[in-house]
Amino acid sequence: MSATTSTAAPPPKGGELCISIIIPCRNEEKYIEQCLRSVVAFEVPPGYETEILVLDGRSDDATREITLRLAREYPSIRLLDNPGLIQSCALNQGIRLARGEWILRLDAHSRYGPEYLRLCWETAQRTGAENIGGLFITQPGGNGPQAYLVQALTTHRFGVGNAGFRIGATEGSVDTVPYGFFPRRVFEKLGGFDERLVRHQDYELNRRIIAAGGKIWLNPAIHVFYFNQPTLAAFYRKQFFKEAPFNPYCWYLAPYAFAYRHAITGAFAAGIIGGCVLGPVFPRLGAVFAGVMALYGVLAIVSAAQQALRYRRPSHLLWLPFCFFGFHFIHGLGVLKGLFNLAVGAEPVQRVHEPWPGAGRRRAWPPASAAPDAAA
């Protein structure tokens, strides 16, 4: 099947303005139906219609069958093939095929309230921002105790730093938001998602918008109900192999995308390794290392107690301190792994010098002339 061939009915036609909703997915049979049913229930701004483009990365589970069944029920849904497999390719393909003057990028691993689209559109009209988003309302990915530990890990400042969309934030300009609601002109001026990035493509685009003079706006009334990994092993595996290494890959491709919160775990892991190796040799260094680890332990226990009270799970007080350490250390090792791959020239992102004409050789810094206009 070609990348542009729809496996459902063609998009609705009419005289109304259009908002295009793009949902990349791959092997999401557990979540795709609740996601799409929440999307078709959106409150649509007056004078607009919606089209829902599901870009499937050739799933080998029941994702496609479920989507096709829903497409027969809701003609606004179109299932398209994403031969590039990854989200960046799906998003760029969806943007090329979309009819809308507004692009709403969503994720199949989430569900959304009926007010989601309306609030995005109203916030865009009120603020003139180039991208609008809201808060993650993190849900456990299962019913087991580990799923609740993962939820607690990713919803506390000690766990995820100052990522405001994860821990709650006031309304205003930020460096990133989950997913996003964009005017089409942003992509026309700044280009699409960087297809060299399997992860962090959203963050890079948001920082590219800011670097070009644009604005990212978070409205805490907008909620994304995101389902996390069901086990600690799955969560840690994702951090080490997928999430963490793409922090340095993103810095390499786009220096303006550097954020201290993404780098601090790498320094933490390096400090742990250095302290364990050098501490016994240099007693003063060992004493400093012991003091730092004692402080870390106190902060981890206090944070665990707060999450135990918040979620009414006393067992969090026992297990979360160790889980925080595992999260930070494993993520940090992933950052160091990414830096090592770059140092030895082993990372594929180093071999594609220009993802689109004008992006630049190995650096996707936008030209000064690419600053987006103010939103209408």
Residue found by looking up tokens 């990028």 in the block: 105
What amino acid is encoded at 374 in this protein?
A
Alpha-carbon gap, residue 339 to 353, rounded angstroms? 18
User: Does residue 250 have a pLDDT over 50?
Assistant: yes
User: Does residue 169 have a pLDDT over 90?
Assistant: no
User: Does residue 372 have a pLDDT over 90?
Assistant: no
pLDDT at 230: 92
Regarding beta strands 102-105 and 180-183, do their DSSP bridges make them parallel or antiparallel, or are they unpaired?
Answer: antiparallel
Residue 318's SS3 state is helix
pLDDT at 9: 38
User: In Å, how far from its chain's centre is CA 156?
Assistant: 17
Contact status, residue 150 vs residue 228, Cβ threshold 8 Å? yes
Q: Where are the beta strands (DSSP E) in the chain?
A: 17-25, 48-56, 77-81, 102-105, 110-112, 131-139, 172-173, 180-183, 216-227
Residue 216's SS3 state is strand
Residue found by looking up tokens 């730093």 in the block: 161
Alpha-carbon gap, residue 201 to 193, rounded angstroms? 6
Q: Where are the beta strands (DSSP E) in 57-185?
A: 77-81, 102-105, 110-112, 131-139, 172-173, 180-183
Contact status, residue 43 vs residue 50, Cβ threshold 8 Å? no
pTM for this structure? 0.85
For the chain, the domains span 14-109
User: Of 63, 34, 39, whose CA–CA distance to 227 is shortest?
Assistant: 34
User: Does residue 11 have a pLDDT over 60?
Assistant: no
Q: Give 41-63 pLDDT, tens digit per residue.
A: 999 999 999 999 999 999 999 99
pLDDT at 8: 40
Q: Which CATH class is domain 14-109?
A: alpha beta
